[in-house]
Structure 1
Amino acid sequence: MLKRVLLVLLTICLLIAGIIGYGVYWLFFDWSRFKQDFITESTSPQGTYTIHAYRSDSGATISYAVLGELIFNKEERKSKKIYWQYREEDAEIEWIDDDTVRINDVTLELPEQSYDYRKGIN
């Protein structure tokens, strides 16, 4: 009987932990809910990368944010989040060379670096 009760309690705890884990992922890491309005795209000079820029509007009390997503054109890799700036509405993308890009005055070395307004350049 004790084993059955412990098994039920363990199952309930795992279920609750899974729900909380998914909620944290959805709230902080799932970009699909932030990518609302496509702004522009830009391809690197040699066609290695493409950057898609999106504007996020989270509601009346939150300012706009600009999100940048790096697409790998010559490799089979998953796209990467490289830019997130709060209180911006537009994305000005300028390629310095095939591996260096400037997005709204933030210069990134691709594919290693990314920018998040909360952390700076990583």
Structure 2
Amino acid sequence: MKKWLLGCATMLLLVGGLLAYIVYTLFFSMSRLPEGEWLTSTTSPEETYTIHFYLTNGGATTAYSIRGELVNHHTSERKNIYWAYREQDVRTEWLDSHTVTINGRVLDVRNEQYDWRRGKE
């Protein structure tokens, strides 16, 4: 009986973990955002980083969104750092070599991102 309970508990943990991973990946991860149509790009003062901005259209029942993809020129790494719902325009200003203001939100591109679903991370 103990082995059966232990097996059931293990199976529940595995299924729960898998479901949590699937929900996170599909609804909260910034790595699976829609690509969108290129709007503009901005490069940091020392040319270490470039952020490419894309306008995404979610269809007839959702508003436009802006996705910002950071490119690190030293490592060639690409990652999404900006995801804003109900925006169609981008206003940016680099404050220094690694801090940028995007539509009024200040981000340190080395370790911060903005996702409208969660606020600043």
Measured against the shorter chain, the TM-score band is 0.7 to 0.9
Match of 1:98 in 2: 97
Match of 1:85?
84
Trace 1:19-58 onto structure 2 (pairs within 5 A). Answer: 24=23, 27-28=26-27, 34-39=33-38, 40-58=40-58
What number of residue pairs does the alignment pair up?
A: 120
State, as a whole percentage, how many aligned pairs show the same letter.
Answer: 43
Residue segments in structure 1 that go unaligned for 5+ positions in a row:
1-15
Residue in 2 aligned with 1:8? Answer: none
Deviation at residue 34 of structure 1 after TM alignment: 3.9
Where structure 2 has 5 or more consecutive residues not aligned to the other structure, the ranges are 1-14
Deviation at 1:77, TM superposition (A): 5.0
Name the Cα RMSD after superposition: 2.8
3-state DSSP class of the match of 1:51? strand
The answer to whether the 8 A contact 2:31-2:80 is kept is: no
Q: Tell me, in whole angstroms, the C-alpha distance in 1 between the residues paired with 2:65 and 2:20.
A: 25
Q: How far apart are residue 36 of structure 1 and its match?
A: 3.9
The residue number in structure 1 matching 2:114 is 115
User: What is the distance in 2 between the residues matched to 1:21 and 1:77?
Assistant: 31
User: What is the TM-score with the length of structure 2 in the denominator?
Assistant: 0.72
